[in-house]
Structure formats: C-alpha cells, structure tokens
C-alpha cells in the first residue's frame, strides 16, 4: 500500500497527515513546532522513518487569483529542504481554503489551532491523492 505524508506549513506550526493512494483518503496525524522558521527536523525524520512514505505532499498557499501568497517562498524552501534532507519526492499542492474548511469541519474557533493544522494537512493530502 502506498503511503504519503502531507504537510501544512505555517510560520509557527506545521500540520502533518498520513494518507494512502488506494483509498485516496488521509487522516490528521500531529502538529509540529516551527520555531523561527526552523522545523523540528528530528521529529520529521522520526515520522518519515515510522511511516516510510512513498512521497510527501506540501500545501502551497495560493490566492484566489492563483498568485502565490507571501508565505509561498517559505513553503517552497521547506519543500526543497525535505527533498534535500530525506531524498523523497516532494509534491506541492494547492492549499487554498484548507484551513477554513478544517475549521468548518471541526466546528470550532481558532483556539484549537493544532487540530485545525493537522486536519488542514489531511485535506490538502486528500485533494492531491484524488487529483493525482
């Protein structure tokens, strides 16, 4: 079974999800800290070792007019770092409205940010799995 990991990169937190190609579904996994733009690489490595994904999907923040947001260069850098450090294929996927959808599904305010970030990662990954 082909397993994939999804990441929703943020300046303070990074949501992580796991999904399968066969079912084209994903589940929220956890949220990592991102301190001063430095992801917790040791935790990411442990997650990759545990799940042994075929590839990684990182959400790319786009505006409604298809232009990239101000965060997009940081997300692209994170994706390049994942590729360089771990040698896995990294795909970028449109993450427009994923956080809004995650909040709507959870039915909560921004106070449960960690649950939102992990669910947003799952939504990004599911969308990519359905479209790939």
Residue 8 lies in domain: 3-131
Q: What pLDDT sits at residue 96? A: 80
- Per-residue pLDDT band for 37 (boundaries 50, 70, 90) equals confident
Q: How many domains does the chain have?
A: 1
Q: What pLDDT sits at residue 36? A: 84
CA gap 97, 120 in Å, rounded: 9
- Domain at 99, CATH number: 3.30.420.140
Q: What pLDDT sits at residue 99? A: 73
Q: What pLDDT sits at residue 113? A: 60
| For range 102-131, the mean pLDDT | 79
Q: What is the mean pLDDT of the chain?
A: 90
CA gap 45, 81 in Å, rounded: 12
CA gap 92, 59 in Å, rounded: 6
Q: What pLDDT sits at residue 125? A: 97
Q: Name the H helices within the chain.
A: 41-51, 72-86, 98-106, 113-131
Nearest to 41 by CA among 99, 49, 126: 49
């Amino acid at each position: 079974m082909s397993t994939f990991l999804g990441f929703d990169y943020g300046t303070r937190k990074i949501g992580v999800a796991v999904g399968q190609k066969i079912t084209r579904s994903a589940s929220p996994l956890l949220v990592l800290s991102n301190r001063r733009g430095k992801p917790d690489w040791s935790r990411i490595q442990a997650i990759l070792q545990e799940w042994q994904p075929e590839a990684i999907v990182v959400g790319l923040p786009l505006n409604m007019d298809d232009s990239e947001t101000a965060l997009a260069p940081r997300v692209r850098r994170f994706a390049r770092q994942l590729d360089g450090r771990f040698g896995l294929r990294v795909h970028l996927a449109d993450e427009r409205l994923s956080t809004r959808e995650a909040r709507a599904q959870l039915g909560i305010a921004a106070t449960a940010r960690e649950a939102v970030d992990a669910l947003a990662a799952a939504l990004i990954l599911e969308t990519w799995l359905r479209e790939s």
